Amino acid sequence: MPELAVIGFKDTTTADQVIPELEALQREGLIQLADWARVIRKADGGVDTRQMTNTTGAGMAGGALWGMLFGLIFFIPVAGLLIGGAMGAMMGHLSDYGIDDKFIKEVGKQITPGTSALFLYVVSSTGDRVIERLAKYQPTLIRTSLSNEAEQKLRTALEQANTTATA
């Protein structure tokens, strides 16, 4: 069953450094993510969010393709391309896959200014190996959808890994 975990970092750059590590872990089959989102809470309180899936761009590309195909049928391919691209972008922007945007914004506002966090929608993982690889970034568990017992085990494992990484 997929689980959601929000892990925090002590500065605004670390979450961006962890993303390539997560991608490497996925290629190695140690973790499978359905989605992720990176949130940076700037010192001025502003929130910068980046998600794994850009639904606006994907919608625009798909809409442009279909619009151009229909445009070719009616001998107006450029108009079809433009209209299809605009409609696809709008539909992509309105659709939401993976982690709920409202949840990301809500938790993002609670993150301490000058820090960052990753929202991970985990389908499966080899927990001990993933924690071992992420320990050097000194993550802190902020929120999770795990049971209380599983969450406590994860917190303990992260704390032990952080202690080992800093020693």
Indicate which CATH number applies to the domain containing 121: 3.40.1520
pLDDT band for position 82 (cuts 50, 70, 90):
low
> How far apart, in whole angstroms, are the C-alpha atoms of residue 167 and residue 162?
9
| Domain edge (last residue) among 94, 119, 148 | 94
90 sits in which H/E element: helix 77-94
Indicate whether 84 and 129 sit together in one domain: no
pLDDT at 62 (0 to 100): 61
Indicate whether 48 and 114 sit together in one domain: yes
5 touches 131 (CB < 8 A) = no
- Does residue 130 register a pLDDT over 80? yes
Indicate whether 44 and 62 sit together in one domain: no
pLDDT at 128 (0 to 100): 82
Q: Domain for residue 84, yes or no?
A: yes
- Does residue 21 register a pLDDT over 80? yes
pLDDT at 20 (0 to 100): 92
pLDDT at 153 (0 to 100): 81
| Domain edge (last residue) among 94, 125, 157 | 94
Angle of helix 148-166 relative to helix 127-134, nearest 10 degrees, comes to 40
Q: Which residues pair with 118 in a beta bridge?
A: 7, 38
Q: Domain for residue 99, yes or no?
A: no
> How far apart, in whole angstroms, are the C-alpha atoms of residue 115 and residue 108?
10
Other C-beta atoms lying within 10 Å of the C-beta of residue 139 = 24
Indicate whether 8 and 81 sit together in one domain: no
Indicate whether 41 and 59 sit together in one domain: no
Which residues form the domain of 23? 3-52+104-166
- Does residue 55 register a pLDDT over 60? no
pLDDT at 166 (0 to 100): 63
Indicate whether 146 and 119 sit together in one domain: yes
Q: Domain for residue 60, yes or no?
A: yes
Indicate whether 73 and 124 sit together in one domain: no
Place of tokens 């229909």: 70
Lowest mean pLDDT among 44-48, 94-98, 120-124: 94-98
